[in-house]
């Protein structure tokens, strides 16, 4: 009798309850089955499955249903690029359209050498923590890269590594432009740029020239030399920082040559033009 009350009854009760609920849920899942559009599973199969969230949807499943149900455009997946966009377009029966892939770009050249680290930050090893100290950064330049490598930790593609110079380096072959590092960077140092953009100002400082020179030898001082040199007037100075309008830029590379701080980065396509000229 005692065993009955202490052991058997509770075990039976919980077992029966669990069984009943299990059976009920199993029945419910059949009765209330919602017929899913099979294009969703087709698109899901075509997606790379990185679940990076670069498309703006929570994971690949979210994007697949977004394409079918919410009419999201088919070329949002930056990991798969144009090949995946083409597949999704076929499934949906629409045109894929022009797709310019984007890549992550670090807008800072403040290496340990160019911008000496004057403060030893001893807090939590994360940029997002380091920027909460007074002054906004452990480094002298409050606009520059903090250099604790939070972006390297969040990149699921292993495209960002910390260099010995104190700055993260983006491996353009591995980077898919998902934007995770852009979202996590507390200084907005990383931006997404089209892979066709090859002349970019690698500085984020809006300080006056003299103040920039005090803290960094590779910072934009707003001297306007590049803006004057540019044959297409593609460069404007926004609060002592040069900004290149990529739609006007012809990748001649003249601005990078005259820049006294050498903070305008040029890529491969510019060098090709220089050689052929």
Partner 1 sequence: MTLTELFLLFLSSIFVHNILLSRFLGCCPFMGVSSKLKTAQGMGAAVVFVIVLASLMTWLTYNYLLVPLHLEYLYTLSFILVIAALVQFVELALKKLNPVLYKSLGIFLPLITTNCAVLGVAVLNMNEGYGLAAALVNALGSSLGFLLAISLMAGIRERIEENEGIPDCLQGLPMALITAGLMSIAFMGFTGIIK
DSSP symbols for 54-121: TTSSSHHHHHHHHHHHS---TT--TTTHHHHHHHHHHHHTS-------EEEEE-----TTTS---S--
Nearer to partner 1, 133 or 156 (CB): 133
- Give min distance, CB of 259 to partner 1, in A: 32
Nearer to partner 1, 94 or 183 (CB): 183
How big, in percent rounded to 5, are the helix, strand and coil portions of the chain? 35, 10, 55
- Give min distance, CB of 131 to partner 1, in A: 7
Identify the CA nearest to 145 among candidates 167, 125, 130: 167
Under the rule (CB under 8 A), what is the footprint of partner 1? 5, 9-10, 13-14, 17-18, 21, 24-25, 28-29, 31-34, 131-133, 136
Nearer to partner 1, 21 or 158 (CB): 21
Burial class of residue 189 (count of CB atoms within 10 Å of its CB; 0-12, 13-18, 19+): buried
- Give min distance, CB of 29 to partner 1, in A: 6
- Give min distance, CB of 57 to partner 1, in A: 13
Distance (Å, whole) CA 238 – CA 222? 8
Say if CB 212 and CB 221 are below 8 A apart.
Answer: yes
Nearer to partner 1, 82 or 140 (CB): 140
Nearer to partner 1, 64 or 170 (CB): 64
Q: Angle at Cα 146 formed by Cα 264 and Cα 160, nearest 5°?
A: 70
- Give min distance, CB of 21 to partner 1, in A: 4
- From the centroid of its chain, how far is CA 20? 48
Nearer to partner 1, 27 or 272 (CB): 27
- Give min distance, CB of 54 to partner 1, in A: 20
């Amino acid at each position: 009798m005692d065993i009955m009350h202490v052991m058997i009854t509770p075990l039976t009760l919980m077992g029966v309850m669990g069984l009943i609920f299990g059976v009920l849920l199993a029945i419910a899942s059949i009765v209330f089955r919602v017929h899913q559009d099979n294009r969703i599973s087709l698109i899901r199969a075509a997606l790379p499955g990185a679940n990076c969230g670069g498309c703006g949807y929570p994971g690949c499943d979210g994007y697949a249903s977004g394409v079918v149900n919410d009419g999201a455009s088919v070329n949002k997946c930056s990991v798969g690029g144009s090949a995946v966009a083409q597949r999704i377009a076929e499934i949906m029966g629409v045109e894929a359209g022009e797709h310019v892939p984007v890549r992550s770009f670090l807008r800072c050249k403040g290496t340990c050498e160019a911008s000496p680290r004057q403060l030893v930050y001893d807090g939590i090893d994360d940029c997002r923590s380091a920027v909460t100290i007074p002054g906004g950064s452990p480094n002298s330049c409050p606009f520059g890269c903090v250099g604790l490598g939070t972006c390297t930790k969040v990149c699921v593609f292993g495209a960002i590594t910390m260099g010995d110079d104190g700055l993260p380096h983006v491996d353009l072959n591995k980077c898919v432009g998902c934007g995770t590092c852009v979202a996590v960077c507390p200084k907005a140092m990383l931006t997404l740029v089209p892979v066709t953009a090859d002349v970019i100002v690698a500085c984020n400082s809006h300080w006056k020239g003299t103040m920039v020179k005090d803290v960094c030898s590779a910072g934009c001082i707003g001297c306007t030399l590049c803006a004057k040199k540019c044959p297409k007037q593609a460069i404007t100075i926004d609060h002592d920082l040069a900004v290149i309008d990529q739609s006007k830029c012809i990748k001649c590379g003249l601005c990078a040559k005259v820049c006294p701080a050498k903070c305008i980065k040029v890529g491969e396509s510019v060098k090709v033009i220089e050689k052929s000229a």
